[in-house]
Amino acid sequence: MTTTPLSLLRLILPVLGAGLILIGLPATTRAQNIVVMVNGDPITDFDIEQRSKLDQLTTQKTPSRQDVINELIDDKVKIKEGKKYGVDPAAADIDQSYAGMAQRMRVAPDQLTKSLEVKGVRPETLKSRMRAEMVWTSLVRGRYKERLQVGEKDVADKVRSEGGEKLQIEGTEYKMQPIVLIVPRGSSQAFMEQRHKEAETYRGRVASCEEANSLFRSTPNAAIRETVTKTTAELPEALRKVLDDTPIGHLTPPELTKQGIEMVVLCSRKPTMIDTPKKREIREKMYAEKYEKTSKAYLEEIRKAAMIEYRKR
């Protein structure tokens, strides 16, 4: 069964939070009746209607009008609080996040936009909602960093209380540097094949990370990134197998991506101890609980201080 962009969108949205939604396009002549003013910023009937439609699309449930109004108020106060602390993502940051969503859906950003427009969805409104979530995540994690820390002893005690016997297991640590041979957008198939052949030639020449750095830092239309260190637990199985089959200092097989022809030079591979899946799961759960509790209290605090005025209908 083929997955359409919109169905994929439903899978991607939870990553950005349960409140992340898409808002449909109105008729251009529709009146903008103001329902609520939040710190001088209006929420209209149109805003409420569109948020309701998208909530229904993403959750398969019909939200109450007041719940939707509360979501929109939350967005307004989050944005205002962000500006208070200088947290105000640039348009380029929002566009990058939008492009990242499209990439996870395996479509180009303009394809995502077109698929939304077909359903009457405004990509600008999605970007606005993404802005609110980006601001809020940055605020909570930045202002309450210490409060959100999860102690190793607490994690270990929780693992043992749930019947876990081991806290760590043997794994592998990989040090590597990503490399990309740039392929401009819209390039011909012949050009891509040429770049692929170049990549295979480089694979035969490179035998160490030092050689890779010397070569690709001076090669036109190519880039080598900074060293990345990952463990077994942080890599998908398919990539782990490729890295395990790659000799130290050599390049992985070339792969065509949106950036171009990508490879990785493997700088080192050594045994290490890593957390068990159970321990990682519990740590992530404990962090999520702390984040949710802190976020809720913080939001309640700034909502109380906000100027929220409901307009009579």
What pairs with residue 273 in β-bridges? 170
Calpha distance 70→300 (Å, rounded): 12
Rounded to 5 degrees, what angle do the CA atoms 308, 312, 313 make? 130
pLDDT for the residue 171 = 94
The dihedral over CA atoms of 237, 177, 93, 280, expressed in degrees to the nearest 10, equals 40
One digit per residue, the tens of pLDDT, for the chain of length 313 reads 444 444 444 544 444 443 343 334 444 434 479 999 999 999 999 888 878 877 876 788 888 999 989 999 999 999 999 999 999 999 999 998 999 888 888 888 999 888 878 777 788 878 888 899 999 999 999 999 999 999 999 999 999 898 877 898 899 999 999 999 999 988 898 999 999 999 999 999 999 999 999 999 999 999 999 999 999 989 989 999 999 999 999 999 999 887 899 999 999 999 999 998 889 899 999 999 999 999 999 999 999 999 999 997 6
Quote the tokens at residue 153.
């002893």
**Phi and psi torsions of 211, nearest 5°:** -65, -40
Quote the tokens at residue 83.
């500006």
The answer to whether 176 and 266 are in contact (CB under 8 A) is yes
Quote the tokens at residue 122.
């405004």
For helices 277-305 and 152-161, the axis angle rounded to 10 degrees is: 120
pLDDT for the residue 196 = 93
Nearest to 59 by CA among 20, 24, 15: 20
pLDDT for the residue 25 = 41
pLDDT for the residue 288 = 96
